Amino acid sequence: MTFENLQVNIENRIATVYIDRPKKLNALNRATIEELHQAFKSLRDDKDAAVIILTGTGEKAFVAGADISEFSEYSVGQGKDLAAKGQEQVFDYIANFPKPVIAAVNGFALGGGLELAMSAHFRIASDNARLGLPETSLGVIPGYGGTQRLPQLVGKGRAMEMIMTAGMIDAQTAKDYGLVNHVTTLEELIPLAEKLANKILNNSMQAISAAIEAVNDNYKDGIDGFETEINNFGKSFGTEDFKEGTQAFLNKKKPNFN
Ligand code: COA
């Protein structure tokens, strides 16, 4: 896969997607949003990619937000379209991705950058990371899911404070808030993401996809996540992975999933 604003490396069943506009602190312009959609669409069917790590190029930024220079002249309708299209093609697409997506936050994750990290299934950060939703300082509100996902992850009060103050929190505070799971040095960030990815790769990818769907359904209006859990639990019993996992346990062996 070749892109103008992304780099994608696939090795040992791990695909690492780098947002690659370091001179603009990896800000998400329309072209990058489109490329992210294409990259994830293609990774969905790529048998060589089982776990995805999402990160930014350079030592300064994961993503410093949506590209402000592109939307500063937008009308009401264009603003609404920007949010709707971005949410559908990238942010919801990643949140509902059937393969695990880990965000490795390597610096500024602001606005659309934090929203992108929050659309991943979980996050780790380097100790130089700064996270925030500064949109209200620009006269807009978060438009790529931030008003919904931030309260889900850190609680309503903390989310309200972050959105209203438009301030940034450091990596340790993000960990204390439950926004990121682990904090490490910049050098150790990708190795840690790979270590976690490899741990995931020991398990049944089929079961993991079913679990992602069930967990996500907890947050969808009008959908009963418990019902999804019951259905997906039941379906697991019909899979080769279930036979492999249970037989391996009973025979005191390590499972070898497809
Ligand atoms: N959109 C467009 N360009 C951006 C950007 C964004 N969200 N964030 C950074 N850039 C660009 C800057 O304009 C600058 O470009 P230039 O060199 O052509 O002038 C370049 O990236 C480097 O950024 P700079 O501001 O010089 O770096 P800094 O270290 O002084 O400050 C930040 C870093 C992250 C604090 C600052 O860039 C910033 O506040 N960015 C906007 C964050 C934001 O509000 N995001 C939400 C958007 S909805």
Say what the pLDDT of residue 39 is. 98
Catalytic residues: 115, 135
> Pocket around ligand 1: residues whose beta carbon is below 6 Å from it?
24-25, 27, 64-69, 108, 110-112, 134-135, 138
Q: Rounded CA gap, 132 and 227, in Å?
A: 35
Angle of helix 156-165 relative to helix 146-154, nearest 10 degrees, comes to 130
For atom 29 of ligand 1, which residue has the closest CA?
Answer: 60
For atom 11 of ligand 1, which residue has the closest CA?
Answer: 24
Kind and range of the H or E run holding 82: helix 76-86
CA atoms within 13 A on the CB side of 184: 15
Ligand 1, residue 138: give the atom nearest the CA: 44
Task: Provide the H-helix boundaries in 132-239.
Answer: 146-154, 156-165, 171-177, 186-201, 205-217, 225-236
Q: How far is CA 72 from the centre of its chain?
A: 26
Ligand 1, residue 166: give the atom nearest the CA: 44
Q: Rounded CA gap, 101 and 17, in Å?
A: 10
Ligand 1, residue 68: give the atom nearest the CA: 1
Contact in structure between 204 and 241 (CB atoms under 8 Å): yes
Structure tokens at 240: 């080769």
Q: Rounded CA gap, 24 and 156, in Å?
A: 31
Q: What residues in the chain have per-residue pLDDT under 50?
A: none
24-44 pLDDT tens trace: 999 999 999 999 999 999 999
Expressed in angstroms and rounded, the spacing between residue 104 Cα and the centre of ligand 1 is 20
Q: Rounded CA gap, 247 and 232, in Å?
A: 20
Expressed in angstroms and rounded, the spacing between residue 3 Cα and the centre of ligand 1 is 22
Say what the pLDDT of residue 195 is. 98
Expressed in angstroms and rounded, the spacing between residue 64 Cα and the centre of ligand 1 is 6
3-state secondary structure of 176: helix
| CA-angle at 41, arms to 38 and 44, nearest 5° | 150
62-107 pLDDT tens trace: 999 999 999 999 999 999 999 999 999 999 999 999 999 999 999 9
Expressed in angstroms and rounded, the spacing between residue 66 Cα and the centre of ligand 1 is 10
Say what the pLDDT of residue 183 is. 98
For atom 12 of ligand 1, which residue has the closest CA?
Answer: 24
Burial of 203 (0-12, 13-18, 19+ CB in 10 A): middle
Contact in structure between 100 and 52 (CB atoms under 8 Å): yes
